[in-house]
Structure 1
Amino acid sequence: MLAETICSAASAAGLGIAAVTAYRKRFLAATRIAAYSLVPIGLVLTGVVEWLSDIVFKPSVWLGFGLLGLAWLLFMTTRAVERRGGGTRKERKAAARAAQNDAVAPAAAAPSLGAGAPAERPQPREKSKKQAAAGGSGDDFSDIEAILKKHGI
């Protein structure tokens, strides 16, 4: 009841200001003020103000919001614990490699239906970063030389 009265008074005041503005021959501004002043009374007539006042003044609604917040907090806590469940990053990577090796090993050991050719093993990497830096720094500069030759330098 109080909220509806306040909204009605605000609308009446806004329409009064719009009338004074229109009297001063500022019709565009007066129309804009009138539009803004009709919003509170429109909210009252649609029932939005009553709905909001029911939400604000009922303790059961606040209890419901509290329970929703608690549910969200529990959900986020379980996700954080689940992410940390694998230990450190190194431990998670080691566990992932072990799981990958376990998955690859039975496939390689399984008998094939082909002519009995041995299963192909993955090729080792060409050079590690330390080996490339220590022994073969010429490979690194060959790319640069090719770019410089391309541009005629």
Structure 2
Amino acid sequence: MLAETICSAVSAAGLGIAAVTAWRKRFLAATRIAAYSLVPIALVLTGVVDWVAGIAFKPTVWLGFGLLAVAWLLFATTRAIERRNGGTRKERRAAARAAQGEAVAPAASAPSLGAGLADSRPRPGTKSPQRSVAPAEDFSDIEAILKKHGI
């Protein structure tokens, strides 16, 4: 009963503030205030206030919230430990297997080992690709800008 009285008083006060705001020719703000002030009385009429009051004063409900908090803490703790140790056991095993196995294409990395540098001449019977010679880079415009700024 006390909760319903408080909600009714809050709604009445909000509607009074909305009336004063409308009297000052601020109709949009007054409408918004009136909408907010109708929410508490609507919650009383729909029974939400009784439901919340019933939940708030039951020890079993608080025990349930406590257990939810403990479960959340356990999840968060295990997640933090997993991150610190480098992932789950399954992820570590997969990474170890990938590191032990051979490369998918071992010959693919041969040019990066330097074998291609020794023989840069085209082989007989193969058509050499036409290499376009890059024009010398022209930095004259950059030099002009730098000189203009005294650098």
TM range (shorter): 0.5 to 0.7
1:69-80 aligned within 5 A: 69-75=69-75, 77=78, 80=82
Which residue is 2:52 aligned to? 52
What is the CA–CA distance in structure 1 between the aligned matches of 2:32 and 2:88, rounded to whole Å?
Answer: 56
1:23 alignment counterpart: 23
Q: Give me the whole-angstrom Cα distance separating, in 2, the residues matched to 1:65 and 1:12.
A: 34
- The C-alpha deviation readout for 1:18-69, integer Å capped at 9, x for no partner, is 2222333333332222111111111111112222222222221121122233
Matches within 5 A, 1:4-153: 4-75=4-75, 77=78, 80=82, 83-85=87-89, 93-96=95-98, 124-127=107-110, 131-132=113-114, 136=117, 149=134, 152-153=135-136
**What is the identity, as a one-letter code, of the residue corresponding to 2:21?**
T
Distance in 2 (alpha carbons) for counterparts of 1:10 and 1:147: 81
Cα–Cα, structure 1 residues 124 and 25, in superposed 2: closer, same or farther, change >3 Å? closer
If the length of structure 1 is used for normalisation, what is the TM-score? 0.55
Compared CA separation, residues 35 and 122, structure 1 to 2 (3 A): closer
* Identical pairs, percent: 58
Cα deviation, 1:118-146, whole Å, max 9, x if unaligned, reads xxx955334375x34x983999xxxxxx6
Distance change in 2, residues 1:54/1:127 (3 Å) = same
Work out the number of aligned pairs and report it.
120
Gaps of 5+ in 1: 102-120, 140-145
